[in-house]
Structure 1
Amino acid sequence: MGVFVRFADRLSEASGRLAAWVFFAIGLIITYEVVLRYVFTAPTIWVDETARIGQIWATYLAAAFALKHRELIVIDVAFRKPGTLARKLTETFALLVIGLFCCVTVYYGFGLWLDATLRGHTTDTVLALPAWFTDASVWLGFALLAVQAGAEFIRLWSPRSSREEKG
């Protein structure tokens, strides 16, 4: 496989691991909130928003990892046999739709992020976090997904396109 495919795979693996740790951290802070609220009757003001922002980031970071491991979209009802032309064409169509959606989302998401950054927008919550932080997750996550979709497309049409090579 090419350098681009290996790079995309490593990037997706790293973003997937980061997403897993973010989900783990969310579990910890929610447990912390439950203990404080119900044991000590002292709820926090930051856990709810922090957990939501973490879920947003982790979800977008995990998308490329899910595609790499074929857990994002799986079509095998009609085209079960891998390697057939019909299966390759179906997967090509799915990857092109994903790629197109990603490009549109990155384009408009980056614009929203840039606007929020330049104008200094904040969230409408008690913490009033900078809006650019949550807006960045959208275009970054979809950019990662687009890169992985490109790698999957190359892998699909390369002469040595077995899924076992991915390692």
Structure 2
Amino acid sequence: MSCTTVPELGGLMDRGGTSGRRIVVSLKSQQATLYHQGKVVAVAPISSGREGKDTPVGRYSVIQKSPDHRSSIYGNYVRNGKVVKENVDNRKTPRPAGSKFEGVPMPYFLRFTGAYGLHAGNVPGYPASSGCVRLPKRHAKRFYDAVRIGTPVVVQR
């Protein structure tokens, strides 16, 4: 199956209900699959956690949906609209005087456990994230729109 959306997803979304849906993330194949009533309705390439920042394997469910989420951990320190220190982990890098933390954007965020979720982001074709599951923006929006809080998420090796 190619990494494109299966045509019937549009029809499913037009009909409303989201019961019978689940997301399966394969870390080995670096892809996420959306199922409805056991049938594949969408497949997307992903970028999962890089070495040392592994995406947790297990059975979860969507516990938060946030269309314009920002990271509370990773981002930049900004002063007067200008970045003064970029790509920081604010737990490890002290904030420069007079600056504020601005979390990296994580559009269409679907939290499934702790600090982990699926969201739009850079998908270079290999594990590169800090543990989240990144999808191309158009796929992230489709997955976001197709599920609700409580939708099962399975992350497997």
Q: Which protein has the larger Cα radius of gyration, Structure 1 or Structure 2?
A: 1
Q: TM-score range by the shorter chain?
A: under 0.3
Higher helix share: 1
TM-score w.r.t. length of structure 2 = 0.25
Higher strand share: 2
